[in-house]
Structure 1
Amino acid sequence: MTGPRSDIGRIAVVVKGYPRLSETFIAQEILALEERGLPLDIWSLRHPTERVVHPMHERIRARPTYLPEYLYQEPLRVLRGLLWSLRQPGFRRLIRIFLQDLKRDPTPNRGRRLGQACVMARELPAGVRHLHVHYLHTPASVVRYAAILRGLAWSFSAHAKDIWTTPDWEKREKIAEAAWGVTCTAAGHAHLAMLAPPADPARVALAYHGLDLSRFPSPPQRPARDGSDPADPVRIVSVGRAVAKKGFDDLLNALAALPEDLNWRFAHIGGGEMLGALKRQAEAAGVAGKVAFLGAKAQPEVIALMREADVFVLPAKRARSGDQDGLPNVVMEAASQELAIVASDFAGIPEFVRDGREGVLVSPGDWEALANALNLIAREPARRAALGRAAHARLREAFSIDAGLDLIEARLRHSLGQMPLADGYREPAEATAP
């Protein structure tokens, strides 16, 4: 679905941090919506922490506006926002809702979101007619508060951590106030749909991120490595932040358990808080000489590594905090290169990879089963090739970017008053009440 550039208003897209290497799905969506003619502004709660960016970020026309990451860092800006907010018709309602939230969540973080919202509401250009936020936890709090002050409708895209670590009371109230929302896995959609107003089942919709295959090279031809040649070992790769939910500790246990007659090398791309601990684990397990931690990389380097690899592995699991993945884009990126996939039968992964058809799935946290799966697939190049072709076909046929983007574009254009919707969706009256 495409349309002309809007002359009647802009959309403020709010993110937790921008740009971020781990959030290619957000950059991909922003770029594609811009290319479809939607006028977007970017607002970020945090400044970037990484030195490199993806090529997609350089193509995005919208320039980010950064809110005060910590209120004490920009006291005059925060003070101006608060004084402006005191004079707005929606301020009483905002304070009532904020105090209710603070009573249930008495943390400094809650006060920070109020301050950021006051700054954002004051500084939003007059041409902004709708707010759309990625993540239903803290970013959505800022947007909810700012929308009340400005009398604007808002919508959300929920992804993974924000769904599974936010209290149900908070999700329920945000969904009720949002004009609409989308989420990117069937499991997440089922959960949020249960929290949506009973009279409005279309309030939250399922919209897979998909992948824009035009941005990726054609799959390469791979040599038939089987792990028997010490000079040409099987190449195993993984991509993801070094955090508990990615399961890289289980992966290192699995790699250490591989038979001695199997020749392999493993490369990891990604930063993260557990990187030091993983390096120490590799040393203790005696596999550090076969493991390379490459740090965060831009997408072209990620794809280049995948093209040289034989197996992609992602042993995702639920962290003790309750955090878990959705459907990681890196799984689909591996499929774009017909790379054989070994992953957990968990979260949104089996919605794309079906065990024995597009890849091999093992139970989350079961490093022994993971070791067995890696051992078998490393020795079977023909099977790897067949799984890779099947994953690429599924990506092309069922997980292209267009279906999800069509839905999001239609709802955004409706929110700008450009078009009606045909799916039974209606915008709730309370969404715009100051």
Structure 2
Amino acid sequence: MYCVRKVNDDYTWIGADSRRLAVFEGVFGVPEGVSYNSYLLLDEKTVLFDTVDAQVIHQFRENLYHALDGRTLDYIVVHHMEPDHTAELEDMVLRFPNVQILCTAMAKTMIGQFFGHVYDDRIRVCKEGDTLCTGRHTLQFVAAPMVHWPEVMMTYDRTDKLLLSADAFGCFGALNGHLFADEVDFDRDCLDECRRYYTNIVGKYGPQVKAVLDKAAKLDIAMLLPLHGFVWRKDLDYILHKHLLWSTYQPEVQGVLIAYASIYGDTESAANILACRLAEQGVPVTMRDTSVVPLSSIVSDAFKYSHIVLASATYNMGVFICMEQLLHDLAAHKLANRRYAILENGSWSPAAGKGMEQIIEPLHWEKVSDTLTVKSALRPDQVLQLDTLADLLAKDVRRAEEKEEKPAGGKRYVCKVCGYVYEGDTLPEDYKCPLCGAGPQYFAEQ
């Protein structure tokens, strides 16, 4: 039985939810499921935008054939060649013998790698700025390399002002009957999963995402249609601003993430005392046990918070395994612009601190204080050291907050695209937003 939803008069969502998948891409737990989005445009010509993962192909087929209502398929746009969006591509080509595939040159190569080259004559390679007229609609193709594969492109519908954004602006979690982000309390119920999706799937490619945001700033966009998660038809500045922060490695919250790796509880005890001291001073603080909390969630938290405390026991003359894995993950994601402190523990030769420093050294984080060393268990006289560390962190957090809030001039002008604030008496006529490139017409005085 079909299960579809209308995006607007001409576009229909024909994707499917999966709630039985334990781990997405074999790595990331998805306790709330995941959606595989596919969209169908019905115009003088019909256009299918991407297919779905193999596990939901039966639902997808029901949805597609119902939405087509006896019509044939003229075009398939392949935005991204990852198999969770192309599992049905070969079947579609076989079922619709006249269908044409639109994709980038690299995607064409990948189609040959996945399915062979028997369909090469059905493929039309699209470049940046190429267009397709389907009748009422004009589609413009936008290159988006490394968001998050090199072959990715997006499609901008000039007529309805829709951006079909491939894996960009996606989110973990099944849709559960909803399609639009404004049908749920996104900030309360979905933002964490959106951040976890971005930081782990796309987080390494911040500059490439920023480049796409720069392109988006030049388009008049009414809706965002990603391949996972909700369609955005309202409050686009909210989700664009979040992605701007993440892609430029700017924190959402001036506060402290304490990630700890404790074997018998003594390192955890020291971390707990530090968290208490920070909370007493009104500093937002979150604690994560690297032995229990999935690393994908801690990576997400690291993107969220401005300050990170790394607390680890020494293990085999190095960093405890769970913490070591987390740090390698953060290094791989190239998380920048963080301030940090280190707490190490070791019974006879504490070595975790040095090991942690070596792993994160390429990230060029700024250290707030000297490493605090515990030998076996925190001594009563070391509580003062924890108090001092808490004071230094709290002062550093407040200093960052003041820097964010302190006006540089008499007025504040806010970019409606990305949320960047320009402070000064007047906004120059030729001003360009340093984050998204938007011109002065996109700024509003607060």
State the TM-score, normalized to the length of structure 2: 0.32
Higher helix share: 1
Could you say which structure has the greater relative contact order, defined with CA pairs below 8 angstroms and 6 or more residues apart?
1
- In our comparison, the structure showing a higher alpha carbon Rg is 2
State the TM-score, normalized to the length of structure 1: 0.32
